[in-house]
Amino acid sequence: MVSTREKILAFLERRGTASAIELSKALKLTSANIRHHLRILQKEGVIVPLRVGQTSGRGRPAYLYALRDQQKAHNLERLCSALLHYLRSAASSHERDIHLRSIAQELVAEKATSTTMSITQRLIITTNILNEMSYKASWEAHREAPTIKFSHCPYASIVNSFPELCQIDRYLLETLMHLPIETLTTRETLPTGETICRFRLRQSRL
């Protein structure tokens, strides 16, 4: 029988990071039970907490948890935070928007698709590219327009403090798809405990 701690580790292996609340919902256990096992795993040095801010009111500080080996992926967190703070303070809203779009274009400068491709081809290539960037992206056909889902946020440890990063996600999609993109939801928590972001191509059919 798989133990609770093994389930937690397996979930973090799949997701990269997760909060105690997300783990509680996903594993159908109480928050107190989850926190008990998280404390043990933390003492054993298997996982590390990534502080992402303060909960509303007088609650506990908000933490995400990651496997210790995955902590390496968060070593640039302070640098990213400093750069985003600088961008926020040194530029107007319009200028920030221009800079964020430029950052997105730079991130996929050598990976963009072609306007000669069909929308379906672009969707397939775009989700493959974003999965290489740890987004766990997928797409679905819908009557109005295709939607794209991100099941993992590469910026999870700082996105609550810098929601501007969600704009970069949209600009990444627009750069790769060569089409306008609409943000449907950001950081939406499903009943399963999964946290997702959803986007939709604007009035585009397959």
- Look at residue 54 and tell me whether its pLDDT is greater than 70: no
Q: Which of 74-88, 136-150, 154-168 ranks highest by mean pLDDT?
A: 136-150
Same domain (yes/no): 18, 64: yes
- The whole-angstrom separation of Cα 197 and Cα 189 is 9
Would residue 98 count as lying in a domain? yes
- Return the number of other C-beta atoms located less than 10 Å from residue 34's C-beta: 24
Query: Would you state the structure tokens that stand for residue 57, as one six-digit string?
Result: 């009111």
Query: Last residue of some domain: 73, 104, 125?
Result: 73
Q: Do 117 and 25 belong to one domain?
A: no
Regarding pTM above 0.95, the answer is no
Long-range CB contacts (< 8 A, 24+ apart) of 68-72?
70/12, 70/16, 70/17
Give the mean pLDDT of 159-167.
Answer: 84
For residue 90, is it within any domain? yes
As a whole-number percent, the residues of the chain with pLDDT over 90 amount to 39
- If you average pLDDT over every residue of the chain, what do you get? 84
> So what's the pLDDT on residue 56?
47
